């Protein structure tokens, strides 16, 4: 049974009820994973890494099917949540303002929003109303490391 958005009292418990946990945030020597500007936290683009392994490569509409793209988007969103939680010190303090979802896809693919929906659903399941956000889903020719999905977020403290 999938938990509803109101079954548990904390974001961490809702995440655990989904069988997930926040991954560790790996620092970069080239850029900051997040940057605070006034009350906003800008989360750098996150790829679908798990345990230092990129979970998929290719282009939607050619090498990657919709379901796989959705799962990769969900994992990239989980990584972005981990960065936001680190920036604010607590997952329960995270409020998503905007999410940008980049989808490497063929020109005729046209289902970028369906890929992004999986990431939006995760944010709403875990953060409930604090996960509601403005969103843009963009089809692009390619992404770093040939990943199918990259997610960038802007957050604030709840």
- What structural domains and CATH numbers belong to the chain? 34-157 (3.30.1330.40)
pTM of the model: 0.93
Average pLDDT of the residues of the chain: 94
Three-class DSSP category at 153: strand
pLDDT digits (tens, 9 = 90+) for 17-48: 999 999 999 998 999 999 999 999 999 999 99
For 31: left if phi > 0, alpha if psi spans -120 to 50, otherwise beta; the answer is beta
Torsion angle, CA of 145/143/22/14, rounded to 10 degrees?
Answer: -140
pLDDT tens digit sequence for 82-128: 999 999 999 999 999 999 999 999 999 999 999 999 999 999 999 99
Residue 80 has pLDDT above 60, yes or no: yes
The reported pLDDT for the residue numbered 7 is: 54
Q: Which tokens belong to 33?
A: 């994973």
């Amino acid at each position: 049974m999938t938990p509803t958005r109101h079954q548990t009292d904390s974001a961490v418990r809702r995440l655990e009820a989904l069988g997930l946990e926040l991954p560790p945030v790996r620092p970069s020597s080239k850029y900051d994973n997040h940057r605070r500007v006034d009350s906003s936290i800008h989360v750098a683009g996150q790829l679908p890494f798990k345990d230092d392994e990129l979970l998929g490569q290719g282009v939607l509409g050619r090498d990657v099917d919709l379901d796989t793209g959705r799962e990769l988007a969900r994992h990239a969103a989980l990584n972005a949540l981990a960065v936001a939680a680190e920036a604010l010190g607590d997952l329960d303090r995270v409020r998503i303002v905007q999410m940008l979802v980049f989808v490497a896809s063929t020109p005729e693919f046209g289902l970028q929003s369906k890929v992004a929906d999986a990431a939006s659903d995760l944010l709403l399941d875990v953060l409930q109303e604090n996960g509601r956000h403005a969103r843009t889903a963009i089809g692009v020719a390619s992404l770093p490391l040939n990943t199918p999905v990259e997610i960038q977020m802007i957050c604030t403290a709840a």
